[in-house]
Amino acid sequence: MAKLIMYLQYPFVRYAIIVGVLVALCSSLLGVTLVLKRFSFIGDGLSHVAFGGMAIASVLKMSNEMILVLPFTIVSAILLLKTGKNTKIKGDAAIAMISVGALAFGYLVMNLNPNSSNISGDVCTTLFGSTSILTLNKTEVWLSIILSLIVVVLFIIFYNKIFAITFDEDFSKTTGINVDRYNLLIAVVVAIIIVLAMNLVGSLLISALVIFPALSAMCVFKNFKMVTIASAVISVIAALVGMSVSIISSSPVGSTIVAINVIVFVVCYIIGRFEGGC
Partner 1 sequence: MDLIKVENVDLGYDNHVVVKNLSFNIAEGDYLCVVGENGSGKSTLMKTLLGLNSTLKGKIEFAANFKKNGIGYLPQQTEVQKDFPAAVEEIVLSGFQGKSKGFFYSNEEKNMAKDKMQKMGILDLAKQSYRALSGGQQQLVLLARALCALDQLLILDEPVAGLDPKVAQELYEIIKKLNTEGVTIIMVTHDVNTALKYANKILHIGKSIFFGLTEEYVNSETGKHFKDYVGGCENG
Of residues 179 and 209, the one with the C-beta less far from partner 1 = 179
Letter for the amino acid at 236?
A: V
SS3 track for 110-148: HHHCCCCCCHHHHHHHHHHCCCHHHHCCHHHHHHHHHHH
Sign of CA dihedral 199, 68, 96, 33: positive
Of residues 117 and 223, the one with the C-beta less far from partner 1 = 223
Interface with partner 1, residue 117, by CB under 8 A: no
- Taking contact as CB under 8 A, which single stretch among the options 55-63, 110-118, 221-229, 234-242 is the one that binds partner 1? 221-229
Interface with partner 1, residue 42, by CB under 8 A: no
Interface with partner 1, residue 176, by CB under 8 A: yes
Interface with partner 1, residue 273, by CB under 8 A: no
Q: How far is CA 216 from CA 95, 175, 245, in A?
A: 24, 32, 21
Of residues 4 and 157, the one with the C-beta less far from partner 1 = 157
Q: Which of 68, 79, 134, 164 touches partner 1 (CB under 8 A)?
A: 164
Interface with partner 1, residue 146, by CB under 8 A: no
Q: In which region does residue 173 sit, left (phi positive, over 0), alpha (psi from -120 to 50) or beta (all else)?
A: alpha
Interface with partner 1, residue 173, by CB under 8 A: yes
Interface with partner 1, residue 163, by CB under 8 A: yes
Of residues 36 and 134, the one with the C-beta less far from partner 1 = 36
Interface with partner 1, residue 223, by CB under 8 A: yes
Residue 88's Cβ-count burial label (10 Å; 0-12, 13-18, 19+) is exposed
Interface with partner 1, residue 41, by CB under 8 A: no
Letter for the amino acid at 169?
A: E
Say if residues 109 and 52 touch (Cβ distance below 8 Å): yes
Q: Which of 114, 222, 266, 267 touches partner 1 (CB under 8 A)?
A: 222
Phi, psi for residue 205 in degrees, rounded to 5: -105, 5
Using CB under 8 A as the criterion, which residues of the chain lie in contact with partner 1 when the complex forms?
36-38, 157-161, 163-164, 167-168, 170-177, 218, 221-225, 227, 276
